[in-house]
């Protein structure tokens, strides 16, 4: 009887410890889309917005803001949030603001290699690797924005890893913030690979309403390094922003081994009349698509870079790649609007951002994934 009483008492004493242990385990990041995690990321993102509407948006439930960076020359900003025991930290990247330079950054969409360097000013060079494939290219404006924030982000991740043993990192953003966060997720992966970040980090990303960050080969690389459920791009099917930037595929945007590289060889077995016709069609397609790419790069690169230079006078404009083949990256989580949604957010009128805001994404996620508003 005495032993039984002692065992029972010991069991009650162990309950709080077991509960705490289970709570910590429950807070570990797991692969796969988690609607609760994404909703919390939207609540975190809402605190980036300096407007009265952000106050009425539901407050974060699991995370507390611990650091906010100063705004960079193109008005990029990021925050660090942490859960109660700091086992998980969130890097939240702000989206487009009302400042003209923030919009200029979006339109500055010429392509540059996904690995290289950018001379941001006379004393700062941003060395970056965002993909392993030499054919991968990325949006120049958002890469510059990343470069202005990357050193501070790396410093804070190292600090929390050393001081609090924070090993789990969620990278998130909405709109422009989502596009930059995609590039950031890639950057952190290759910084870990190079040994400049702790190798024991677990990275997960949720990016909402994100425009397309790079070309097909960048997207392949991103989807590969986040494989098995660690990188998600959430899209409202009526939101036009994820359809940007303008995209154009030319015949040289294919993999090296393809039937278009040597058209003469491909047409060798055809009759001379067929060869003549198809070569003429191929030539026109090739010339016109290449000309269109040059026009895109001229206006969305060379021309608009003059406005970027006003904000960053010492920036050395990089050499652009002959590529505008933008595509989406990340496992797509599609939020398909229903009739109830359309009553609240009609798909008509002149409110072009009606489907792009945080609240439409928040409500659709709740409805689709069974989280009652």
In a domain, 233, yes or no: yes
Q: How far apart are CA 371 and CA 361, in angstroms?
A: 13
- Does residue 144 lie within any of the structural domains? yes
User: Using CA atoms, how far apart are residues 348 and 45, in angstroms rounded to an integer?
Assistant: 27
Q: State how far the Cα of 236 lies from the Cα of 229, in Å rounded to an integer.
A: 20
Q: How far apart are CA 192 and CA 202, in angstroms?
A: 10
Span 79-118, pLDDT tens digits? 999 999 999 999 999 999 999 999 999 999 999 999 999 9
Nearest-angstrom CA–CA distance, 339 and 347: 11
Query: What does residue 350 show for φ and ψ, rounded to 5 degrees?
Result: -110, 10
CA pair distance 175, 181, nearest whole angstrom: 10
Q: Kindly state whether residue 256 falls inside one of the protein's structural domains.
A: no
Element (H, E) at 150: helix 140-164
Tell me if 13 is assigned to some domain.
Answer: no
pLDDT of 280 reads: 72
Cα–Cα distance measured from residue 60 to residue 174, given in angstroms and rounded to the nearest whole number: 16
pLDDT (tens digit, 9 = 90+) per residue, 13-50? 444 444 443 443 346 999 999 999 999 999 999 998 76
- Which domain range does residue 211 map to? 27-249+312-368
* pLDDT average, residue stretch 155-179: 98
Mean pLDDT of 318-324: 96
Max CA pair span of the chain: 102
Determine, yes or no, domain membership for 262.
no
* Alpha carbons 110 and 280: distance in angstroms, whole number: 30
Cα–Cα dist 237/239, whole Å: 6
Closest alpha carbon to 184 in 159, 161, 206: 206
Q: Is residue 283 part of a domain?
A: no
Average pLDDT estimate for 264-284: 66
Mean pLDDT of the chain: 90
CATH of the domain at 39: 3.40.50.1820
Residue 204 lies in a domain: yes
Domain count, the chain: 1
Question: What is the model's pLDDT at position 1?
Answer: 44
The pLDDT > 90 percentage for the chain reads 80
For residue 165, being part of any structural domain is answered with: yes
CA 286 from centre of chain: 32
């Amino acid at each position: 009887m005495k032993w039984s009483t002692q065992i029972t008492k010991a069991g009650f004493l162990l309950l709080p410890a077991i509960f705490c242990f289970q709570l910590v385990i429950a807070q570990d990041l797991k692969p796969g889309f988690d609607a609760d995690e994404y909703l919390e990321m939207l609540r975190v993102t809402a605190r980036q917005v300096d407007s009265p509407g952000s106050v009425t948006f539901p407050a974060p439930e699991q995370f507390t803001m611990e650091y906010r960076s100063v705004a960079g020359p193109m008005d990029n900003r990021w925050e660090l949030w942490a859960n109660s025991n700091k086992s998980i930290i969130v890097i939240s990247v702000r989206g487009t603001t009302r400042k003209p330079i923030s919009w200029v950054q979006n339109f500055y969409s010429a392509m540059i290699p996904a690995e290289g360097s950018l001379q941001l000013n006379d004393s700062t060079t941003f060395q970056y690797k965002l993909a392993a494939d030499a054919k991968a290219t990325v949006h120049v404006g958002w890469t510059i924005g990343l470069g202005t924030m990357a050193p501070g982000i790396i410093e804070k991740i190292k600090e929390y890893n050393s001081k609090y043993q924070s090993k789990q990192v969620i990278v998130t953003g909405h709109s422009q913030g989502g596009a930059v966060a995609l590039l950031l997720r890639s950057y952190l992966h290759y910084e870990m690979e190079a040994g400049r970040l702790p190798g024991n980090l677990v990275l997960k990303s949720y990016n909402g309403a994100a425009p397309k960050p790079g070309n097909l080969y960048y997207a392949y690389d991103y989807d590969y390094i986040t494989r098995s459920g660690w990188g998600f791009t959430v899209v409202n099917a009526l939101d036009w922003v994820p359809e940007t930037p303008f995209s154009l595929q030319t015949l040289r945007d294919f993999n090296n081994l393809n039937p278009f590289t040597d058209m003469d060889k491909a047409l060798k077995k055809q009759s001379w009349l067929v060869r003549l016709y198809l070569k003429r069609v191929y030539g026109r397609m090739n010339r016109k698509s290449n000309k269109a790419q040059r026009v895109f790069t001229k206006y969305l690169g060379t021309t608009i870079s003059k406005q970027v230079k006003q904000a960053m006078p010492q920036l050395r404009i990089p050499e652009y790649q002959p590529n505008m083949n933008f595509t989406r990256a990340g496992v797509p989580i599609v939020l398909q609007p229903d009739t109830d949604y359309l009553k609240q957010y009609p798909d008509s009128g002149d409110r072009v951002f009606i489907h792009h805001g945080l609240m439409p994404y928040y409500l659709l996620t709740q409805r689709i994934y069974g989280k009652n508003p």
